[in-house]
Chains A and B, each alone.
Chain A
Amino acid sequence: MNRPRLVLASLPLLALAAVAAHAHNAICDCFDNGDETITCEGGFSDGGKAVGVPLRVLDASGKVLVDGKMSDESDYTFPKPKVDYRVEFDGGQGHVVTIDGRDIEE
């Protein structure tokens, strides 16, 4: 039961992100860990990983509070901002997923 994404996974990471984003949608979701941290998970609609994909946290004025990259597990955890914020998961080629901090629940 080989899946196309297994082939993708063997490509260099940058190529993976680009190829996956070209053919598939970028997907990101975040939750509140209840300990003043937020975890965001990402991936692509073919199951492709999001390792190294940029994840930014911005305040209401657009100032970047956190400039991170998805881990080897395709997730990223950051301290919960004290101010209103949004998360941007940049899947490349215009595939940016934006999540309002007020929508992030435990």
Chain B
Amino acid sequence: MAARATSSRSMAATLKSKPRPVARLLATALGGLVATAAEAHFQLLYTPEAALNESAAIELALVFSHPFDNGFTMNMGMPEAFYVVSQRGEGDPKTTDLMQYLEPIEWSGVDSKAAAYLARPPRTVTRSLGDYTFVLRPAPYYEQNEDKYIQQITKTVVNVGGLPGAWDEPLGLPVEIVPLDKPYANWVGGVFRGVVLANGEPVPHAEVEVEFLNHEPQIAERRFDPEGKVTAPQDSFTTLSIRADAAGQIIIGLPKAGWWGICALNLDDDLKHEGKELSLDAVLWVKATDMTK
């Protein structure tokens, strides 16, 4: 609780701004006293390593949370789709359904427990060299504080052996962030670029949020590391809010090793789910690696 008390300072400022997904309040969980508007919902599709030297069984944790400050973790319903698109060099892309590997688990945030999923596909699924883009289309999440649903279509790209594949190709998702740099091969201090697409078209000036996965997931313990790696000096730094440019392109810096989540928000204004507004978001995870010997 103490970790989030600092966020209450931002409430007044948030209430002045127009209602939008960044202002997702968590008043219910906190008895209405504290609004953590400074943090953003992020669908995690987490695996420890993005660039594998050798093929291995890849374990993934599917958790819906607030990654920078280990905030409130939300219940996930059964995903609508979960699969991996793989490509070895210039070979044909191959899609492997992973729904059968989903295991319901309980994941612990700092002061909340929530329904999440673990997936442990066998090594045969990721045995070939090349790129593996894991795609998760979660069940829409009802956000009571905004009386709307949120659905974050999420991609995490893993490479095996250094042989690239189709990391830079769109996958034909309703909404997605298409990488312009390999999401798994980034030095700390570099930049990462991508293009926000909705229905295959770039989204000019898309609203985008960026968060560092500050509390590393500990899959064996089904929780986030209680110790964060960095501390935000002020609420604006918890979730970095940016805009895509006129061509729908985003560029972010990568100042710290680890996973960075990029989320383009509410990419289709007209969507409804069960009679309520649905914010369809696109999430891409990018890993930065220290330059060391």
Interface size for A (C-beta < 8 A) is 22
Q: Is A37 an interface residue (CB 8 A)?
A: no
A5 to B89, CA, bound (A): 9
Taking beta carbons and an 8 Å cutoff, which residues of B are in contact with A? 54-55, 88-91, 123-124, 127-130, 160-165, 168-169
A25 at the interface (CB under 8 A from B): yes
Q: In terms of DSSP, what is the predominant structure of the interface of chain B?
A: loop
Those of A60-79 within 8 Å (CB) of chain B: 73-74
Contacts of B163 in A (CB 8 A): 27, 41, 43-45, 47
Q: Say yes or no: A43-B168 contact (C-beta < 8 A), given A29-B55, A29-B161, A31-B55.
A: no
**Chain A binding surface, main DSSP class:** loop
Known: A27-B129, A29-B54, A29-B129. A74 touches B91 (CB 8 A): yes
Let me know if B127 and A43 touch, CB within 8 A.
no
Contact of A9 with B90 in the complex, beta carbons under 8 Å? yes
Q: Which positions in A face B, CB cutoff 8 Å? A: 1, 3, 5-6, 9, 25, 27, 29, 31, 41, 43-50, 73-74, 105-106
Q: Which residues of B contact A5 (CB under 8 A)?
A: 89-90
Q: Given that A29-B54, A31-B55 are known contacts, is A74 also in contact with B88, CB under 8 Å in the complex?
A: yes
Residues of B within 8 A of A105 (CB): 123
Tell me the minimal C-beta distance from A26 to chain B in angstroms.
Answer: 10
Is B89 in contact with A47, judged by CB distance below 8 angstroms? Answer: yes
A55 CB to closest chain B CB (Å) equals 14
Are the C-beta atoms of B164 and A41 separated by less than 8 Å? no
3 tightest CB-CB pairs across the interface, nearest first?
A43-B89, A43-B163, A47-B164
